[in-house]
Amino acid sequence: MTGHVELAPSILASDFAHLAEQVQAALAGGGTVVHVDVMDGHFVPNITIGPPVVKSLRKVTGAVLDCHLMIENPDLYIPEFAEAGADWISVHQEACRHLDRSIQLIHSFGKKAGVVLNPATPVDTLSEVLDVVDFVLVMSVNPGFGGQKFLRNALHKIRALAEIRATLGLNFRIEVDGGVALDTVEDVVKAGAEILVAGSAVFGGIGGIGSGGGSGGASAIEANARKLLQAARSAALLSA
């Protein structure tokens, strides 16, 4: 797998009182995608942020804004996230009764559409949509919180997606989210992940709302991002 790897710092682990500064630091360290975790307290047992924060982020960065919707009835909110300035919008397979319709809705706003798989959801459930999605996000933790332990079953799912893509000649990209840090990054890249979401490994917080995340300070955040991306690039070269 020679795929170009990108780092997507997850702001969930940042200090929201210093959001712009911390995002800039993560981007200065080589991050190219800003991962925004949207939680509704129903689909996952946590509440985070919504379109107003995306709108504010849009004003301070030209980087890709990747909105991971961990919410029920995502179709109700996709238009607002699109209008707020999201570039990529992903919905959970488990939250969509009409997954193809949700993907079409995201595309109707000219945005890239992703589908997310919880740890217990098999890759097979996406066989009918892999030709219409722009990316698949494989969860390597159960969604809801940052700072959790990496679940290794994500690796065979990433490999399976890379294989299916090659066999069928498809173009979707593969993203991984949860527990990506210096000790797991090599494995996820070797398995075929190309977009690496990392919260606590970049911002240094433990990643939960109200947890006092982002304790690292701007220079530590920049250094964390740079180190993680370097490790990812070395792994990509090794597996090329």
Which residues neighbour 25 within 8 Å (Cβ) at sequence distance 6 or greater? 218, 219, 221, 222, 225
The three-state secondary structure class of 127 is coil
Site size with ligand DX5, rule: CB under 6 A? 23
- Binding segment for ligand DX5 (CB under 6 A), chosen from 122-130, 165-173, 185-193, 196-204, is 196-204
- Binding segment for Zn ion (CB under 5 A), chosen from 60-68, 76-84, 167-175, 226-234, is 60-68
Catalytic annotation present for 37: yes
Q: Find which of Zn ion, ligand DX5, none residue 194 binds, CB within 5 to 8 Å per kind.
A: none
Residues 64-103 that bind ligand DX5 (CB under 6 A): 68
Please give the Cα distance from 110 to 117 (Å, whole number): 23
Please give the Cα distance from 67 to 112 (Å, whole number): 10
> In the complex with Zn ion, which residue's Cβ is closer, 6 or 177?
177
Phi and psi based region of residue 72 (left: phi greater than 0; alpha: psi -120 to 50; beta: remaining): beta
Contact between 196 and ligand DX5 per CB under 6 A? no
Of these, 138, 197, 231, 235, which contacts ligand DX5 (CB under 6 A)?
A: 197
CA distances from 135 to 47, 145, 214 (A): 25, 22, 28
Contact between 177 and Zn ion per CB under 5 A? yes
Catalytic annotation present for 177: yes
Which residue in the shown chain puts its C-beta closest to ligand DX5? 199
Contact between 92 and Zn ion per CB under 5 A? no
The three-state secondary structure class of 134 is coil
Query: For residue 14, how far is the Cα from the chain centroid?
Result: 15
- Binding segment for ligand DX5 (CB under 6 A), chosen from 117-125, 139-147, 159-167, 217-225, is 139-147
Contact between 48 and ligand DX5 per CB under 6 A? no
Query: For residue 128, how far is the Cα from the chain centroid?
Result: 22
Please give the Cα distance from 226 to 210 (Å, whole number): 26
Contact between 22 and ligand DX5 per CB under 6 A? no
**Least Cβ distance, residue 206 to ligand DX5 (angstroms):** 8
Give me the active site residues, please.
37, 177
